[in-house]
Structure 1
Amino acid sequence: MSRVSASTLLEQVLDGGTFSSWDTPPVDICPSSAYAAELRHAQQRTGMDEAVLTGEGRLRGRRVAVLACEFGFLAGSIGVAAGERLVQAVERATRERLPILAAPASGGTRMQEGTVAFLQMVKIAAALAAHKAALLPYLVYLRNPTTGGVLASWGSLGHLTLAEPRALIGFLGPRVYAALHGAPFPEGVQSAENLHAHGIVDAVVPPEQLAEIAGRALTVMTARSHLPAAAPSPEPESVAVRDVPAWDSVLASRRTGRPGVRQLLQTAATDVVPLAGTGQGEVDPGVVLALARFGDAPCVLLGQDRQGQSVEHPLGPEALRVARRGIRLASELALPLVTVIDTAGAALSQQAEEGGLAGEIARCLAELVTLRAPTVSLLLGEGAGGAALALVPADRVLAAQHGWLSPLPPEGASAIVHRDVTHAREMAAVQGVRSMDLAAAGIVDVVIGERCDAADEPVEFCQRVGRTLQRELAELTTEDPTQRTARRLQRYRHIGLKRRGTQPFAATGTSV
């Protein structure tokens, strides 16, 4: 496939005429005469003085820093001079609080410089870690090819990772593999499309669409710094919450036509940027992870997708590792986190046990309850077992009228208590699983009314949920993070202690 040069890519992505170079002459590394000749030839052939160019420009009107490799310059390889140029650019972007868009295309370490070139990846990774610690976005666009130490450092640290169609992306280049092993690398493994399927790349995007996707992502990632001191929060339409039996809510939550997290995003959110998998080689169709905005309120949203779960493929430990990526993103970007709960329960299998399901639930709970970013959880439908509990802890917990939360599905509770499943209706009632009972217990703050049930008004219901999320997110982002986190910890410290002489958590359940 033909390669797009670094300068051409920047012309496609940045607003016209806005690029300004940050490059200074490369540091002198005193190369051998043969290597110096190679450098001169590369400079004459590409018109560049090194394999990377850095600078800034405007992307959809927003000032951004850019790092780009030129593969035509010694295969885009990174040596001491290129590494120093990259680090200086990252450090400047951090000082000036600019998001970074990186576009590597490289064979990896520059072999002519040996081990000192290899070690450049350490300082590049360190500079990017400091950039991300400053709560600044880092976006990566992997071009054809990206391999070796570049992929294993600045190519794999993005908050969002996109890739060029059909790009070769892999740690060990196929030519090196064939030379070492005497056989070609398996076909199709080191492709952008395969890595997307395995949750390592978030999306495969042609160069001409990169500006639109990156611009949308930055709209969400940087929105918190542009919000007014007290963002307007429209009052959602009021719909009465009816006093219905718990079992009716359980049945309503299982209706085929009930809207799920995908319809919520399609109907009520803007600037949605889907993310794929854990970024570490795992995906689960039962979880949706995305950047999005509800009104002016940005967030990282992670939600259990009712359409992606089945008896054959319930939520497993991979799903919770995807969720933990969302928690980590919210922390690194200081963005509010929205969790959406809608699951019939976690996988009960050898694979789930060996994959560490229980540990993943525990880590989700610990990370959510201590997360410094604002958090809102939404009981959208079924809320059975540990997979549901893993996404509950939040500053504000919302529930649809027919959303519910229980240690097990009512049939499972019946099997434990009565040794049959025929008492499921009774168990749903006595366990206090329905939204109104959860509000009375101080577990849920707001119950969102449904006209009969959401399956009968999917668009209107999703819009109502979206307006409620906008209001809650806007209010939470104005609060002091330390006080907000302390209050969240106190909330869960006192759940269930009302009748034991300990100061209770005050139930604040209201309806919309």
Structure 2
Amino acid sequence: MPASANDVIEAVVDHGTYESWDAPCTVSGADVEYRAALARARARSGVDEAVLTGVGRVAGHPVVLIVSEFAFLAGSIGVAAADRIVDALARATRSGLPVLASTASGGTRMQEGAPAFVRMLDISAAVARHRTAGLAYFVHLRHPTTGGVMASWGALGQITLAQPGALLGFVGPRVTEVLTGAPMPEGVQTAENLAARGLVDALTPVSELRRLLTTILGALRGARLRTSSPAARPPRTPRTLEPADTWASVEITRRRDRVTLTDLYRNGIAVLVPLAGTGRGRPAIHLGLASVAGVACVLIAQDRRSDQPIRPHDLRAARRAMALAEEWRLPVITVIDTPGADLSAEAENSGLAFAIAQCVAALPTLAVPSVAVLLGQGAGGAALALLGARRVIATQHAWLAPLPPEGASAIIHRDTGHAPDLTRQQRIGAPQLFAAGIVHHVVPEPDGQAPDDLAAAVTDAVTNTLKQLPLRPDRGGAQG
């Protein structure tokens, strides 16, 4: 049996802390038949409308809840329900509180037609105002969520969770078959399919919702990064770095035993909540709400061991993560380690250059602190997309080039044999990048250093750099 609105509230909030914000609903101009339907819905569901709103505490964090009740006319949203949602969002915004919207709805209430339908605009605008104020808006999609709810406030979450097995879609399967004459293919309108395609961040049953919210809210409340403390010192790069053969560095970054993103995860970077948006298979870019030495941040990290090249949707997901960091006033950490983006017709048709350009333009203009880590390979536009942070850290053998050295050789010499010489001529190595002011700090790599030791040194450099970068004035929003 599907969870009721009260079941969700009870499962999420601390016992005894929920306070309803709902005033009695009235429906003016309703005919006798509709009034009778409303009366039956109240008796069947035990609630007075298709949505309940109020405030409670989740592990001590105050949270505004907007929760659908499917047993009330299939959770459909009429004018009165829409008013209730808009009022709750506005009150949450004024109070500086995060919002959890838990949906289970067939969409707009057909008995009220266009007046109810257009209220989805008002709800969506209220969500936008809430997010613009720097406040958290989480969505939990329950079974089923379709129609105008799915296509408005149900799809506007900064983090979107979904009940496993839930029916989720634009128009429900029965209506789709009636209108098109053909059934929707099996498995399309499911939470699992949306998660696989990067449209849902996590499959989360109601029983796990409280635990996940506690993690997120705790991280956001702890994100009080301010100006540097007196004890914080910026990382220092030696004035003269040990000379290194650039081609040898390129070869080092391509070795199987080279430090990877996984090593960073073992040595100071913790992903608290992964963010979706990277499609099927092991993603080429990892996104997540993360913690670096206890500082909450948004992580956008390339994984050179991915089974897929970086594709346009990976970069669009990275752009989404940048926007989320901006809304939540969280610092951004990018990790660059890529042999280059996908070179295929599909990537071109999907707008690879456009996706790179959007990231290239967005990252330098963020008002939050940002640190880029050039961990190893930095080939082409895929590397440039994540380079434009306020500070750039590089490992000593890392490199950055317009193309892989073999590609540059092919352009200039029509072969790949000149790649080693071109790495030196193009000054792509970390020491040269530091001398040119492109990189602000180089993490030394002594001979024989273990990947874990290098990863720990990189994490320390990121932590110290973050402490030197002030966050813009906090308005208390996302912190809850």
Q: Give the TM-score taking structure 2 as reference length.
A: 0.93
- Counterpart position of 1:408: 403
Identify the range of structure 1 (264-273 vs 295-304) with the bigger mean alpha-carbon deviation.
Answer: 264-273
Q: 1:429 aligns with which of 424, 431, 435?
A: 424
> In the TM superposition, what are the counterparts of 1:260-299 in structure 2 within 5 Å?
260-270=260-270, 272-277=272-277, 285-299=283-297
Query: In 2, distance between residues paired with 1:472 and 1:394?
Result: 12
Displacement after TM superposition at 1:166 (Å): 0.3
Question: What is the letter of the counterpart of residue 285 of structure 1?
Answer: P
- Counterpart position of 2:325: 330
Provide the secondary structure at the position in 1 that maps to 2:400: coil
- Counterpart position of 1:202: 201
Query: In 1, distance between residues paired with 2:231 and 2:28?
Result: 58
> Aligned pair in 2 of structure 1 residues 478, 233: CA closer, same or farther (>3 Å)?
farther
Displacement after TM superposition at 1:480 (Å): 7.6
- Counterpart position of 2:385: 390
- Counterpart position of 1:492: none
Query: In 2, distance between residues paired with 1:38 and 1:478?
Result: 53
Identify the range of structure 1 (209-218 vs 396-405) with the bigger mean alpha-carbon deviation.
Answer: 209-218
- 1:474 and 2:472 equivalent? no
- Counterpart position of 1:509: none
Provide the secondary structure at the position in 2 that maps to 1:399: strand
Structural RMSD (CA): 2.2
C-alpha contact (below 8 Å) 1:110/1:117 kept by paired residues: yes
Displacement after TM superposition at 1:232 (Å): 7.7
- 1:355 and 2:356 equivalent? no
Query: In 2, distance between residues paired with 1:321 and 1:133?
Result: 20
Displacement after TM superposition at 1:271 (Å): 5.4
1:328-384 per-residue CA deviation (whole Å, 9 max, x = no partner) reads: 212222221111111101222222222221222222111122222221111011001
> In the TM superposition, what are the counterparts of 1:450-489 in structure 2 within 5 Å?
450-452=445-447, 457-478=450-471
- 1:134 and 2:133 equivalent? yes
Provide the secondary structure at the position in 1 that maps to 2:111: helix
1:148-202 per-residue CA deviation (whole Å, 9 max, x = no partner) reads: 0000011000010010010000011011112223332211100000000011111
Q: 1:301 aligns with which of 286, 299, 302?
A: 299
C-alpha contact (below 8 Å) 1:340/1:377 kept by paired residues: yes
Query: In 1, distance between residues paired with 2:281 and 2:26?
Result: 43
Q: 1:372 aligns with which of 367, 371, 381?
A: 367
Provide the secondary structure at the position in 2 that maps to 1:427: helix
Query: In 1, distance between residues paired with 2:229 and 2:191?
Result: 40
> Aligned pair in 2 of structure 1 residues 291, 231: CA closer, same or farther (>3 Å)?
farther
> In the TM superposition, what are the counterparts of 1:77-96 in structure 2 within 5 Å?
77-96=76-95
- 1:417 and 2:412 equivalent? yes
Identify the range of structure 1 (41-50 vs 266-275) with the bigger mean alpha-carbon deviation.
Answer: 266-275
C-alpha contact (below 8 Å) 2:226/2:470 kept by paired residues: no
1:76-129 per-residue CA deviation (whole Å, 9 max, x = no partner) reads: 110001000000000000000001111000011111111111111000000000
C-alpha contact (below 8 Å) 2:79/2:119 kept by paired residues: yes
1:394-453 per-residue CA deviation (whole Å, 9 max, x = no partner) reads: 110011122110111112222222332122221111211111110000000011122336
C-alpha contact (below 8 Å) 1:334/1:373 kept by paired residues: yes
**May I ask how many residue pairs the two structures share in their alignment?**
472
Provide the secondary structure at the position in 2 that maps to 1:308: coil
Provide the secondary structure at the position in 1 that maps to 2:143: coil
C-alpha contact (below 8 Å) 1:238/1:449 kept by paired residues: no
Provide the secondary structure at the position in 1 that maps to 2:171: coil
Question: What is the letter of the counterpart of residue 252 of structure 1?
Answer: I
Query: In 2, distance between residues paired with 1:458 and 1:11?
Result: 46
Higher relative contact order (CA 8 A, sep 6+): 2
| Identical aligned residues as a percent | 49
Query: In 2, distance between residues paired with 1:464 and 1:158?
Result: 36
Provide the secondary structure at the position in 1 that maps to 2:10: helix
C-alpha contact (below 8 Å) 2:192/2:203 kept by paired residues: yes
Question: What is the letter of the counterpart of residue 409 of structure 1?
Answer: P
- 1:219 and 2:212 equivalent? no
| Gap runs ≥5 in structure 1 | 482-512
C-alpha contact (below 8 Å) 1:43/1:49 kept by paired residues: yes
Displacement after TM superposition at 1:230 (Å): 4.2
- 1:173 and 2:172 equivalent? yes
C-alpha contact (below 8 Å) 1:29/1:81 kept by paired residues: no
| Gap runs ≥5 in structure 2 | 475-480
Query: In 1, distance between residues paired with 2:431 and 2:212?
Result: 41
> In the TM superposition, what are the counterparts of 1:52-91 in structure 2 within 5 Å?
52-91=51-90
C-alpha contact (below 8 Å) 2:104/2:142 kept by paired residues: yes
Query: In 2, distance between residues paired with 1:321 and 1:135?
Result: 21
- Counterpart position of 1:25: 24
Q: Give the TM-score taking structure 1 as reference length.
A: 0.87
> Aligned pair in 2 of structure 1 residues 283, 333: CA closer, same or farther (>3 Å)?
farther
C-alpha contact (below 8 Å) 1:12/1:207 kept by paired residues: yes
C-alpha contact (below 8 Å) 1:233/1:474 kept by paired residues: no
Displacement after TM superposition at 1:217 (Å): 2.1
Query: In 2, distance between residues paired with 1:12 and 1:186?
Result: 34
